[in-house]
């Protein structure tokens, strides 16, 4: 049943610099996880996505389907990317392999 979901997760974690990925449903419950990432992050990732959507409330009216922006959180040598598409939220952990350029 979840073969498709696992395939998507496998495709994500094979991307360069990616260490883990998970998908959450509309209730913030973890649907699937792959790699080095805590399944408990699903609810928090969705909560962050909801909070950040409130920064641009006009987007909700103009483009309801694009209400939730893609979020990138930098901490230490890791990055956390959160993206919501409809009822599904994806959280991806990436590890820096080289220092980011400052231009």
Partner 1 sequence: MSDDIKTYFNGLLEKVSGLHVIQITDRDGVPLLRVGQEKNVDFALMPSFIPTFTTACDQASKLGLGRNKTIISMYSNYQVVQMNKLPLILTFVGAENCNTGHILALEQQVDGYLEDIKQAVTESQTHA
End-to-end CA distance of the chain: 46
- Least CB distance to partner 1 at residue 103 (A): 37
Are the C-beta atoms of 73 and 82 separated by less than 8 Å? yes
Per-residue x/- mask for partner 1, residues 1 to 40, rule CB under 8 A?
Answer: -----------------------x-xxxxx---------x
How many angstroms separate the CA atoms of 46 and 89, rounded? 6
Phi-psi region of 17 (alpha: psi -120 to 50; beta: other; left: phi over 0): left
| Residue of 9, 33, 41, 92 interacting with partner 1 (CB under 8 A) | 41
- Least CB distance to partner 1 at residue 40 (A): 5
- Least CB distance to partner 1 at residue 29 (A): 5
- Least CB distance to partner 1 at residue 36 (A): 17
Phi-psi region of 35 (alpha: psi -120 to 50; beta: other; left: phi over 0): left
Q: Enumerate binding residues for partner 1 (CB under 8 A).
A: 24, 26-30, 40-44, 46-47, 50
């Amino acid at each position: 049943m979840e073969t498709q979901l696992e395939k998507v997760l496998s495709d994500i974690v094979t991307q360069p610099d990616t260490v883990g990925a998970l998908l959450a449903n509309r209730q913030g419950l973890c649907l699937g996880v792959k790699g080095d990432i805590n399944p408990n992050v699903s609810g928090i990732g969705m909560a962050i996505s909801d909070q950040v959507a409130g920064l641009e409330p006009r987007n909700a009216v103009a483009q309801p389907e694009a209400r939730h922006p893609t979020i990138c959180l930098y901490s230490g040598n890791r990055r956390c990317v959160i993206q919501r598409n409809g009822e599904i939220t994806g959280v991806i952990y990436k590890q820096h392999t080289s220092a980011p350029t400052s231009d």
